[in-house]
Amino acid sequence: MATNGGDDGPVSHQYTQEQADAATSAALEATGGGTANSVETDNENGATYEVEVTKTDGTTVDIRLDENYQVVVIEGDSESGSN
């Protein structure tokens, strides 16, 4: 799993592997399973972390979590299907 700043710019994560693992666990719990593709720091909608998850039905979503790993918002991934 990638733990970087994404394709939007330079790597800018400021978290530990433990924090990335906790964010991943929270995101997978929120989606009812799937595969975590990446973890990034985030500041949209009051979030601290963004985890991209491919759900078991094949759709990809971005899970935004606060600093306590609580879901802020789940959004469709705007980058899925585009190159």
CATH number assigned to the domain comprising residue 42: 3.30.505.20
13 pLDDT above the threshold of 70: no
> What is the predicted pLDDT for the residue at 78?
66
Partners of 39 in the β-ladder: 51
In a domain, 2, yes or no: no
pTM equals 0.76
Closest by CA to 72, choosing from 82, 61, 59, 57, is: 61
In a domain, 9, yes or no: no
How do residues 23-80 score in pLDDT, each as one tens digit? 999 999 999 999 999 999 988 878 999 999 999 999 999 999 999 999 999 999 765 4
In a domain, 81, yes or no: no
More confident position, 62 or 15: 62
Total domains in the fold of the chain: 1
User: Residue 50 sits in which domain range?
Assistant: 17-76
Q: Give whole-number Cα distances, 17 to 2, 39, 40, 59, 83, in Å.
A: 11, 10, 12, 26, 28
Looking up tokens 């929120």, which residue turns up? 30
* In contact, 50 and 41? CB cutoff 8 Å: yes
